[in-house]
Amino acid sequence: MQTADTLIHARWILPVEPGNTLHHQHSLAIRDGRISALLPSSEARAHYQADQVVELPQHLLMPGLVNAHTHSPMSLLRGIADDLPLMPWLQEHIWPAEARWVSAQFVADGTHLAIAEMICSGTTCFSDMYFYPDTTAQVAAQIGMRAVVGLILLDTSTIWAEDAAGYLAQACRVHAALHDEPLITTTLAPHAPYTVSDALLRDAQAHAALPTRVHMHVHETADETQQSLAQHGVRPLQRLHQLGLLHDQMIAVHMTQLTGAEIAQLATTGTHVVHCPESNMKLAAGACPVQQLLTAGVNVALGTDSAASNNDLDMLGEIRTAALFGKHVAQDAQAVTAEQVVQMATINGARALGLADQIGSLQPGKAADIIAIDLSHLATQPVYHPLSHLVYSTTRDQVSDVWIAGQRQLAQGQLTRVDTTTVQTQVAQWQTRIATADTCHHA
Q: Is the peptide bond before 88 cis (omega within 30 degrees of 0)?
A: no
Instruction: Report the pLDDT value the prediction gives residue 443, as an integer from 0 to 100.
Output: 37
Residue 322: CATH number of its domain:
3.20.20.140
CA 266 to chain centroid, in Å, comes to 20
Q: Is the peptide bond before 280 cis (omega within 30 degrees of 0)?
A: no
Mark whether 154 and 212 lie in a shared domain.
Answer: yes
Mark whether 398 and 317 lie in a shared domain.
Answer: no
**Least confident piece of the model among 82-86, 279-283, 323-327, 338-342:** 82-86
Question: Could you say which DSSP state residue 115 is in?
Answer: H
Mark whether 43 and 70 lie in a shared domain.
Answer: no
Question: Does position 340 have pLDDT exceeding 80, yes or no?
Answer: yes
Decide if 110 is inside a domain. yes
Write the pLDDT tens digit of every residue in 7-55. 999 999 999 999 999 999 999 999 999 999 999 999 999 999 999 999 9
**Least confident piece of the model among 85-94, 170-179, 370-379, 392-401:** 85-94
Residue 23: CATH number of its domain:
2.30.40.10
Decide if 267 is inside a domain. yes
- The pTM of this model reads 0.97
Mark whether 26 and 55 lie in a shared domain.
Answer: yes
Number of domains, the chain: 2
Decide if 148 is inside a domain. yes
**CB–CB of 291/332 below 8 Å?**
yes
Decide if 410 is inside a domain. no
Question: Does position 327 have pLDDT exceeding 80, yes or no?
Answer: yes
Mark whether 182 and 197 lie in a shared domain.
Answer: yes
CA-to-CA separations, 362 to 115, 183, 366, in angstroms, rounded: 22, 18, 7
Mark whether 295 and 169 lie in a shared domain.
Answer: yes
Mark whether 128 and 79 lie in a shared domain.
Answer: yes
Residue 127 region by backbone torsions, left for phi larger than 0, else alpha for psi between -120 and 50, else beta? beta
Mark whether 265 and 138 lie in a shared domain.
Answer: yes
Mark whether 187 and 79 lie in a shared domain.
Answer: yes
Instruction: Report the pLDDT value the prediction gives residue 176, as an integer from 0 to 100.
Output: 97
Percent of the chain with pLDDT over 90: 95
Distance CA 29, CA 242 (A): 48
Over range 415-419, report the average pLDDT.
97
Question: Does position 441 have pLDDT exceeding 90, yes or no?
Answer: no
Mark whether 345 and 377 lie in a shared domain.
Answer: no
Over range 340-346, report the average pLDDT.
98
Question: Does position 436 have pLDDT exceeding 90, yes or no?
Answer: no
Question: Does position 440 have pLDDT exceeding 50, yes or no?
Answer: no
Mark whether 100 and 11 lie in a shared domain.
Answer: no
CA dihedral 259, 265, 268, 271 (to 10 degrees): -90
pLDDT class of 86 with cuts at 50, 70, 90 = confident
Mean pLDDT of the chain: 96
Question: Does position 438 have pLDDT exceeding 80, yes or no?
Answer: no
Instruction: Report the pLDDT value the prediction gives residue 442, as an integer from 0 to 100.
Output: 44
**Least confident piece of the model among 113-127, 372-386, 413-427, 428-442:** 428-442
Decide if 102 is inside a domain. yes
Over range 266-282, report the average pLDDT.
98
Question: Does position 439 have pLDDT exceeding 50, yes or no?
Answer: no
Instruction: Report the pLDDT value the prediction gives residue 282, as an integer from 0 to 100.
Output: 95
Show the domain range for 73: 65-352
Decide if 425 is inside a domain. no
Instruction: Report the pLDDT value the prediction gives residue 328, as an integer from 0 to 100.
Output: 98
CA 426 to chain centroid, in Å, comes to 24
Decide if 52 is inside a domain. yes
Question: Could you say which DSSP state residue 64 is in?
Answer: P
Mark whether 57 and 115 lie in a shared domain.
Answer: no
Decide if 365 is inside a domain. no
Over range 98-121, report the average pLDDT.
97
Over range 291-315, report the average pLDDT.
97
Question: Could you say which DSSP state residue 144 is in?
Answer: T
